[in-house]
Amino acid sequence: MKKNLLLLLLGLFAGLFVSESTIAQDEPQFGKDSVTCITNNSLYYEFYKQWKQSNYKNEAWKDVIVPWSWVFKNCPRSYKNIYIHGEKLIKQLIKTETDKEKKDKYIDTLMMVFDQRIKYFGQEGYVLGKKGVDLYKYRPTDYEKAYEILKKAIGLTGNKTRGPVLIYYFRSAEKMVKAGKLDKSVLLDIYDTASDIIEYNIKNDPKKAANWEVVKGNIELSVEPYTTCEDLIDIYTPKFEATPNDIELLKKITKILEKKDCTDSDLFLHATEHLHQLEPSAKSAELMGKMYVKKENWGKALEYFKQATELQEDPNKKADLFYLMAVVNFQQKKYPQARSNCYNVLKYRPNDGKAYILIGNMYALSAKSCGNNDLTTKVAYWAAVDKFIKAKNVDPSVADDANKLINTYSQYFPATETIFFYDLKKGDKYKVECWINETTTVRTSD
């Protein structure tokens, strides 16, 4: 009985492999026999519902096969559910079949389900993604074909690409590399593309951000063996030397070397310089600035960061650049300039607690040099704590750091007897002189 059922199934599926020319492009939705089409559709769906209600664990799927097959073959444009349900059904056949030859035919049938779904109901990029993933999973030896399918799918879906498509695209490409059919640099290109899509979805789809983090981890782990600085430099140096003025290549090199923290290399230096000369942009100017920071050439770093702020249109990124400038000023101990750049940060990002914390730290570091007695050498701590309080009020993410700094520097406030000696009391307004030049409130350490 079981043998006869299998023969029947294989016969039905063999009949599904009809050429496109045998299916009229202008055929009606329910085919030439609409009554039988609707009848078989209702019949298979009843059995399918029973199977689904059992969480796909009972044997009802076996009763789905014959009516579903008739609908799929004779009225393929009737309902999209034919393909959604058919995908699940054929996968069940693949899962339960032990005969390799028969299983292989079922895999072919699954591929045709995807192709026919595209033909009649579109969504080419989305469906190709499913097709490529399943081809790789069920027939790993077809990795080259899976690679081409997934590549096309991602080209069509872009930021709407599903996570598994990115994972299996990388895996199929990796097999191509190991077989000598692709250059290793392709894996880095895929990693670059996948990273952009993943970051877009993490940022724009908060409900699924955790899932995308898992995908990100999977991709990061997969690419790790190919992304040591030595590997990256070996891969991209010959390409750079061959076409040093290829702007797209320069962007790719600088982006991936920065992402993998390989910015100390000569390749990064030369690629960044070439890119900035050929196509000055906020990003290239920023990279140049960061290179000079590493060399501790603060003047050059500031020069390029200033260029970057002038070229940058994104307010948030502009704020990041001004913060970098403030940090460089801080390293130079040019506190007034650093404060000015911190206020530029706050102009574009008013809730940036880091900017207030940096100002507060500079006030605290200036305390002793801004006074000449036991009161004036301590009043800058009042102004510093004001900034730390402001920081945590506008930006809860820095609250822990701000509270630690408040506790630390409050200990350096003048004692009650000191303020009394200078005819002051708690709560009085006080003008802190020196470069700080701000009005604060009198407080004591006891």
**Does residue 372 belong to any structural domain of this protein?**
yes
**Does residue 390 belong to any structural domain of this protein?**
yes
**Does residue 373 belong to any structural domain of this protein?**
yes
Residue type at 155 in one-letter notation = G
Count Cβ atoms below 10 Å from residue 262 Cβ, excluding itself.
20
Distance of CA 91 to the CA centre of its chain: 31
pLDDT for 4 equals 45
Given a cut of 70, the residues of the chain with pLDDT beneath it are 1-28, 30-31
**Does residue 364 belong to any structural domain of this protein?**
yes
**Does residue 346 belong to any structural domain of this protein?**
no
DSSP H or E segment with residue 338: helix 335-348
pLDDT for 294 equals 85
Distance of CA 136 to the CA centre of its chain: 24
Question: DSSP per residue over 210-273, as a string?
Answer: HHHHHHHHHHHHHHGGG-SHHHHHHHHHHHHHH-TT-HHHHHHHHHHHHHTT-TTSHHHHHHHH
- The SS3 call for residue 299 is helix
**Does residue 322 belong to any structural domain of this protein?**
no
Count Cβ atoms below 10 Å from residue 407 Cβ, excluding itself.
11
What is the DSSP secondary structure assignment for residue 432, as one 8-state letter? E
Q: Which domain holds residue 414?
A: 352-446
Residue type at 409 in one-letter notation = Y
Taking CA 243 as the corner, what is the angle to CA 242 and CA 248, rounded to the nearest 5 degrees?
A: 140
Tokens matching residue 15: 């009949």
Q: Which of 107, 100, 108, 33 is nearest to 71 (CA)?
A: 33
**Does residue 66 belong to any structural domain of this protein?**
no
pLDDT for 154 equals 95
The domain tally of the chain equals: 1
- Convert 288-327 to b/e letters by CB count within 10 Å (16 or more is b): bbbbbbeeeeeeebbebbbbbbebbeeeebbbbbbbbbbb
Let me know: does 219 contact 166? Beta carbons within 8 Å. yes
**Does residue 370 belong to any structural domain of this protein?**
yes
CA distance 364 to 358: 10
- The SS3 call for residue 385 is helix
pLDDT for 20 equals 41
CATH number, position 394: 1.20.58
pLDDT for 252 equals 84
CA distance 271 to 50: 62
